[in-house]
Chain A
Amino acid sequence: MFHCDVVDVTKNKITLEKAQAFIESHKCGASLFFIGTVRDNNNDKTVTGITYDSHDGMVKKSFEEIFGEATKHYNCSTQLLL
Chain B
Amino acid sequence: MKIKIELFGAARDFANDNILELKIENQTNIKGIRENLLQWLQKKHPNNSTYSNIVKNSAFCDENNEIVHDDYLVSKEQKLCIIPPIGGG
Per-residue contact bits, chain B 36-51, to A (CB 8 Å; 1 contact, 0 not): 0000000000000000
Q: Does A45 contact B (CB under 8 A)?
A: no
* Residue A30 interfacial (CB < 8 Å): no
Give the docked Cα–Cα distance between A53 and B88 (Å).
12
Residues of B within 8 A of A39 (CB): 89
How many interface contacts (CB-CB < 8 Å) are there between A and B? 22
With an 8 Å Cβ cutoff, the count of chain A residues facing the other chain is: 11
Main secondary structure, interface of A, reads loop
Given A53-B8, A53-B9, A53-B12: A58 touches B83 (CB 8 Å cut-off)? yes
Chain B nearest CB: distance from A23 CB in Å? Answer: 24
- Are the C-beta atoms of B89 and A55 separated by less than 8 Å? no
Residue B26 lies at the interface, judged by CB distance under 8 Å to chain A: no
Q: Give the B-binding residues of A (Cβ under 8 A).
A: 38-39, 42, 50, 53-55, 57-58, 60-61
